[in-house]
Amino acid sequence: MDVTRRQFGFLATAVPVAALATGAPASAGAPPAAAAPDVPAAMRRAAVFFDEHLSHRGGYVWSYLPDLSRTWGEMEAERTLCWVQPPGTPSVGHSLLDAYHATGDEVFWRAAERTGLALAEVQLPGGGWNYVHDFAGERALRRWYETVGANGWRLEEFQHYYGNATFDDAGTSTAAQLILRLYLERRDHRFRAALDRVIRFLLKAQLKGGITDGGWPQRFPRVSGAVSDTPWPDVLPPWLPAGIRHGMEDGDYTGHVTFNDDVLGENIKFLLMCMSTLGKIELAGPIRRAMECLRRLQQPGPQAGWGLQHLARAAGGRPAGAPAGARSYEPRALTTHTTQTNVQQLFHYFRLTGEHSYLERVPEALAWLDSCRLTAQQLGENPLLAGRTHPTFVDLGTNRARFVHRFGSNVRNGAYYSDNDHRATLSHYSGGRSVDTAALRKTYDELMALSPREVADLRGRSPLSGDAIPLPRYFSLRDLQLTDLFRDAPLPLPVVTDADAYALVDKLGGGDYWLTASDATTNPYRGPAPSTPYNGKAYMSKHVGDPYDTSPYDPASPPEEPPYQPVERPQVISTSTYVANMGKLIAWTAG
């Protein structure tokens, strides 16, 4: 592709396509070729619409009806809400900054800057971010939590307003990365102030002392009155099995060491970025402590895995570092997908340091994963497990798969419980996971086979070396790994053909946004959910309960219970679609 097409997005209309393809001269009577779409202009148009019309003060949620009459983050959102949790505000900001890097167009910079300043405004005084912020003020946010949030049966993190920051779902880390990128671009003191706050926040939140030293909790700082259990209805369905477990088995989970959503990996990534771009060599210590925490908390064999959470301190006769329960549908257990993620992190820690101690117990973890695969019977009798290899949860001691279920129809008359029955599991929180032990074993073998010279080369290019290393140019094209932060790390662009790019511009049409069919809608808040018992099973494996439940669900596949009827999925403006489509156009432009 020639530079002119990349920069200006058009072909000379006086030359037929055939002549361009063959180099043959155009005949005098040949009709002019159709002009190729102006890709940069289309990108600019979409970005301006998002910035000037869709955002609220530079902040975003996840999806919008075109007339903006209803908007959603993970739940239905007021127009004044700013959703920090990806794919919300920081995700759009990274895309805008990437578009600026690809085009040099100040329109993208101004939009990215506005989004970054929105994040700086909604940053909590302590330095982190909550999932969501309301520009209308804290009273309005509390009202949202007490209505929409409180009725979201399966969204326990929104049923109670904590007023503190969360590391869950990479919200704080993704926002922090955008603030860092914006500061490095033009050294604006407004971003530096926000950046300093979040660095201090990460260091203050990191646990200190004992076996959990170096880990991070789910939320910080701890607050009095935090939820320590979920209600258990007075009237239970007659079919409820015996011998079940239920509730938040280890109390307030927000203070436990968490591996959920790769919290340690995300925080380490951000601190490495700060270390290699800001010259903050002192961050090497907290980074190493976090790496050692993950290594230390691997459980003894033969169950040499990890849980979603681990006790930050001894409790209930169980030692600090023991696997812990979290939300009521996350029982105390080992977790297979978390173990896969943590093994991959150990691979990264070896590459960062060259120390084989991070690989020593990987074979034990792989042997444990091989010991607890889903059985043919479990796969055959539960269609929700299709395509999965392992149960999500595995009981401590017995190594039996543990599955989560629920009864009732809403947050007041229903509850979650777990047992060893693989049938009728949750649809919103999969009872099974895809774990590729063969790929993990292959990577382990490759790393163990590296020569001392190759290991030294890795260590020399590592961001832990203390050398200045620029950040990758693009953040929105794929999930960045720790190895992408190495000096001279290859970061190939996705292959996007002319046809692919032009098709995306065509889908934009004469408008300013892409529409996509959303697989999620919500029931509007209609008051407190009733506690009237419900003994049916219509909601056991659905994303939503009765009409009082404000949890998102697929309108094309609702519960088989009146008044629900399948309806067409709504056409929405989606931030995730925007980021994906812009990513392809960014790759085409930069390629």
The predicted-structure confidence for 356-415, as pLDDT tens digits, reads as follows: 999 999 999 999 999 999 999 999 999 999 999 999 999 999 999 999 999 999 999 999
| Enclosing H/E stretch for 334 | strand 334-335
* pLDDT at residue number 225: 86
Residue 31 in any domain: the answer is yes
In three-state secondary structure terms, 361 is coil
Residue 274 in any domain: the answer is no
Are 30 and 16 a contacting pair, CB within 8 Å?
yes
Residue 515: count of CB within 10 angstroms of its CB: 16
- Sign of the CA dihedral running 481, 484, 490, 491: positive
Residue 495 in any domain: the answer is no
* pLDDT at residue number 34: 65
Residue 510 in any domain: the answer is no
Give the pLDDT band of residue 32 (cuts 50, 70, 90): low
In three-state secondary structure terms, 133 is strand
Which residues have CB under 8 Å from 377's CB, separation 6+? Answer: 422
* Average pLDDT of the residues in 461-476: 97
Q: What is the mean pLDDT of the chain?
A: 94
50 pLDDT higher than 70: yes
Domain carrying residue 7: 3-36
Residue 49 in any domain: the answer is no
Query: For 223-245, what is each residue's pLDDT tens digit?
Result: 998 999 999 999 999 999 999 99
Q: Which residue matches tokens 């079940």?
A: 244
Residue 210 in any domain: the answer is no
Are 287 and 464 a contacting pair, CB within 8 Å?
yes
* pLDDT at residue number 276: 97
Partner residues linked to 83 by β-bridges:
132
* pLDDT at residue number 33: 57
Does the bond joining 530 to the residue before it have cis omega, within 30 degrees of 0? no
Residue 22 in any domain: the answer is yes
Which residues have CB under 8 Å from 499's CB, separation 6+? Answer: none
C-alpha span between 561 and 577 (Å, rounded) = 32
Give the pLDDT band of residue 510 (cuts 50, 70, 90): confident
* pLDDT at residue number 336: 99
User: 13-22, 431-440, 503-512: which has the minimum mean pLDDT?
Assistant: 13-22
9 pLDDT higher than 50: no
Does the bond joining 87 to the residue before it have cis omega, within 30 degrees of 0? yes
How far apart are the two ends of the chain, measured CA to CA in Å?
Answer: 9
Query: For 102-137, what is each residue's pLDDT tens digit?
Result: 999 999 999 999 999 999 999 999 999 999 999 999
174 pLDDT higher than 50: yes
* pLDDT at residue number 30: 46
Give the pLDDT band of residue 13 (cuts 50, 70, 90): very low
Residue 215: count of CB within 10 angstroms of its CB: 29
- The whole-model pTM stands at 0.94
Q: Comparing C-alpha atoms, which of 94, 119, 89, 201 is closest to residue 479?
A: 94
* pLDDT at residue number 189: 97
Q: Which two tokens stand for residue 217?
A: 């909790």
C-alpha span between 525 and 142 (Å, rounded) = 15
| Enclosing H/E stretch for 121 | helix 106-122
* Average pLDDT of the residues in 521-530: 98
CA atoms within 13 A on the CB side of 590: 22
Q: How far is CA 486 from CA 274, 300, 540, in A?
A: 13, 32, 46
Three-state helix/strand/coil letters over 27-57: CCCCCCCCCCCCHHHHHHHHHHHHHHHHCEC
Alpha helices in 187-335 (DSSP H): 189-205, 263-278, 284-296
Residue 367: count of CB within 10 angstroms of its CB: 14
Partner residues linked to 401 by β-bridges:
394
Does the bond joining 452 to the residue before it have cis omega, within 30 degrees of 0? no
User: For the chain, what is the domain count?
Assistant: 1
Residue 9 in any domain: the answer is yes
Which residues have CB under 8 Å from 345's CB, separation 6+? Answer: 262, 264, 265, 291, 294, 482
Alpha helices in 239-335 (DSSP H): 263-278, 284-296
Give 558 or 14, the one with higher predicted confidence.
Answer: 558
457 pLDDT higher than 80: yes
8-state DSSP, 98? H
Q: Which two tokens stand for residue 23?
A: 């180099």
| Enclosing H/E stretch for 179 | helix 171-186
291 pLDDT higher than 80: yes
* pLDDT at residue number 1: 35
Residue 498: count of CB within 10 angstroms of its CB: 13
